[in-house]
Structure 1
Amino acid sequence: MSQRTKDKVANAAVHLFYLKGFHGTSVRDIASNAKVNVSMISYYFKNKQGLLEYLIIEYYETYLEKLEAAQKEMDSTENPKNQMNQLIDTIIHYKHENHQFTGFIQRELSKDNVLVRELLVTYLAKEKFILEEGFYRLINSSSHSTIEKEMLFFQFYGLLHIPFNMSYEWKNIVGMNRSTDLYIETYKRSIKNWIDTLIGSEKAQ
């Protein structure tokens, strides 16, 4: 299978997984959508789970490389808020550029799909570590208890994922006559404003 054909299969799988879910999509569906023979998918990916593993590795290896690059781009002596803003930009842009697979993953995790969760456990742990490190540098006031800091991080983590958990709501908000790029920029700014408010409330205490 050439790389071009492999990409066609991967793109078809992403689209169908997004529309029909992992269990609702068959290998035959993917082959038909990609216009390839079923046997080619079986040969190169073994089965549907093998294809899913390939997609997750491709998605998360690239994603984490971008997060680590954003993390290193800001010197450790810089304002931690600048570093966090860089991470927010990187995360939202990547998830938006890959919105179908992002939406599929978020939806399957919300269903507590054991297969997906087992495949993602290492990647999710690494993502959380990078985000926590940046977030807790901002929220370091003794006025917050440990559980309060954890809840604030939980809220922050949710803000980064909400648009991709709620695809229908996203479509309704953006609408036919609005620029998706403008919406993305506005959404990123709203998260940064939330963080600014949080930092401001810490300083006031």
Structure 2
Amino acid sequence: MKVTTKDKMLDAAVRLFHTQGYDGTSVRDIATKANVNVALVSYHFGGKKGLYETLVTQFLEGYLHVMKSELNRDLLSAKEQLLSLLRALLLYQTTNHYVARMVHRELTLDSILVRELMATYLRKEKHDFENVIRRGMRTGEFQKQPIDFIIIHLHTMVTMPYLSPHYLRELYQITPTEPYFIERYMEHMERWVKTWLCQTSKAMPSAYLAL
């Protein structure tokens, strides 16, 4: 597939934002790395801010597309569907790890852009997670417990490795972009799903079930 001028600029911007930060990267830096005329950044994106927002929205649209594709696999049980979804989201972020880190860091801020992203994209993520969890509770695969807390756990487990890769590398010698990481991490998440979502209510703290 032919690489377009826009694609070249997006790829260059991702790498520069990753190494130099947003504020440390100029429009000229992006144009130079992409080997294009500096005026094309403004022509296609309206400037550096527009280019940055394009990267963020493209990533989140792809993230939601992955969720939708996995949730459309109706033949799977709720547990199988959830585990398949978690694996697919890890693979997507591994493939796009530079952008993933940038987006997850952006989402820790309080800005107009982030509020728009929350309303447009993260609310849909919450809705999709909620659907599969409610389905598992209806079928008896998952124990009934506070859904909001489950979603917080799931979102954190899926995004944390790509938000803080240096933390994992420096303290645990774990590289989130390596294939072995996904396999080991999925083993952990599968145990979490089985022991926390699927365990019997007798093993659950009564105070927690009452929430």
Shorter-chain TM band: 0.7 to 0.9
What residue number does 1:63 align with?
A: 63
Contact 1:64 1:127 in 2 (8 A): yes
Following the alignment from structure 1 to structure 2, what is the Cα–Cα distance between the partners of residues 113 and 174?
Answer: 34
Which residue of structure 2 aligns with residue 54 of structure 1?
54
Summarize deviations over 1:78-102 as a string: whole Å, max 9, x none: 4210110111111110011101100
Q: Are the counterparts in 2 of residues 71 and 83 from structure 1 also a CA contact under 8 Å?
A: yes
Helix, strand or coil at the partner of 1:201: coil
CA distance in 2, matches of 1:69, 1:175: 29
Query: Which TM-score applies when normalising by structure 1?
Result: 0.83
What SS does structure 2 have at the residue aligned with 1:29?
A: helix
Match of 1:192 among 181, 190, 193: 190
> Which digits, 9 at most, give the CA deviation of each residue in 1:161-196, with x for residues without a partner?
1101112023334468x9810111111221121111
Q: Deviations over 1:101-125 (max 9, x none)?
A: 0001111212334434434530111
Query: Does the alignment pair 1:110 with 2:108?
Result: yes
Aligned residue type for 1:80: A
Q: What fraction of aligned residue pairs are identical, expressed as a percent? A: 31
Segments of 5+ residues of structure 1 without an aligned counterpart are none
Q: Does 1:29 align with 2:47?
A: no
Instruction: Rate the CA distance shift 1:133–1:169 in 2: closer, same or farther, 3 A.
Output: same
Which residue pairs with 2:18 in the alignment? 18
> Which of the pair is proportionally richer in helix?
1
Structure 2 residue identity aligned to 1:44: H
Once residues 38 and 112 of structure 2 are traced to their aligned partners in structure 1, the CA distance between those partners, rounded to angstroms, is 26
Q: 2:130, 2:147 within 8 Å by CA — same for their partners in 1? A: no
Counterpart-to-counterpart distance in 1, 2:185 and 2:116 = 30
1:92 corresponds to: 90
The answer to whether the 8 A contact 2:12-2:33 is kept is: yes
- 2:41 counterpart letter in structure 1: I
CA separation of 1:23 and 1:120: change in aligned 2, threshold 3 A: farther
Provide the TM-score with structure 2 as the length reference: 0.81
User: What CA distance in whole angstroms lies between the structure 1 residues aligned with 2:168 and 2:68?
Assistant: 28
Residue identity in the other structure for 2:134: Y
What is the aligned residue count? Answer: 197
Distance in 1 of aligned mates of 2:143 and 2:174: 41
Partner Cα separation in structure 1 for residue 115 and residue 28 of structure 2: 25
8 Å Cα contact 1:80/1:137 also seen in 2 = yes
Give the whole-Å Cα distance in 2 for the aligned partners of 1:39 and 1:179: 34
Distance 1:111 1:60 in 2: 16
1:105 counterpart letter in structure 2: V
Moved more, 8-17 or 108-117: 108-117
Distance (whole Å) between structure 2 residues aligned to residue 120 and residue 154 of structure 1 = 14
Q: Determine helix, strand or coil for the equivalent of 2:199.
A: helix
Whether the 8 Å contact between 1:105 and 1:116 is mirrored in structure 2 is: no
Q: Secondary structure at the match of 1:73?
A: coil
